[in-house]
Structure 1
């Protein structure tokens, strides 16, 4: 499987602007710029997209592990915060709230850790990854 996205940039770093397009067209000439990355501009930025990718990937992986363990998921809600320091992504912090009938907290925590370590985006990132999990 291969997936793709493209970026087009025009102008200098601070004054220029770019557009991102994904293969699926979910992002279709979506604006990004220095202001959207380092200030409060309108549009997206690479770190926000990494956060979305990690939250989505982790949640799908957790869903697979919970299903393999024989439980039915009512809902999983994951938030991801990406931290960038000195132009390096240093942390990806996942917070998940799960509603899963019959699943105990200890087993849920084990499955969360397993998903954190095994989702493809976690394996891609060269950053400290942490997770906090709550059963609702």
Structure 2
């Protein structure tokens, strides 16, 4: 079985003064959301590719962690993940680092087991695999 999702991008103008729009027609979550040079490299309102990658990674990792914890007999009460994606300008723009920070409440599990499962989820969620060319670090905290 294969699942396909898509998004669209529209751009008008040159790199620095041009403007773009991103849409996710299947879900309707984004409809012509603005993006451009200043929302990517400055503080103008709008989204940017790095923010969208961070959202995708946080969501994918969190679902993978929930699945792996549940498979291990420890369904989580809650999981909160923050993903930070760094864009380096040295030697040309490139994604230089991704940091995952996760905090979870998981009844009946010890920290060592939780850390092991979290590391497995970090390595094996589909987005982590797709981004394997970028260094990924993770900090996992188990809350009672």
Shared fold, TM over 0.5 = yes
Alignment equivalent of 2:64, drawn from 61, 65, 68 = 61
In 1: Cα distance, 2:96 partner to 2:67 partner = 27
Higher strand proportion, which one?
1
Q: Tell me which residue corresponds to 2:108.
A: 102
- Unaligned 5+ residue runs, structure 1? none
In 1: Cα distance, 2:52 partner to 2:29 partner = 12
Task: Give 3-state SS (helix, strand or coil) of 1:41's partner.
Answer: coil
Task: Give 3-state SS (helix, strand or coil) of 1:73's partner.
Answer: coil
Q: How many residues align?
A: 136
| Deviation readout 1:47-87 (Å, 9 max, x if unpaired) | 00000000000000000000000012110000000011121
Q: Tell me which residue corresponds to 1:120.
A: 126
In 1: Cα distance, 2:60 partner to 2:22 partner = 20
- What's the Cα RMSD here? 0.7
Runs of 4+ aligned structure 1 residues displaced above 3 Å come to none
In 1: Cα distance, 2:44 partner to 2:85 partner = 18
Q: How does 1:1-136 map to 2 (within 5 A)?
A: 1-22=3-24, 23-86=26-89, 87-125=93-131, 126-136=133-143
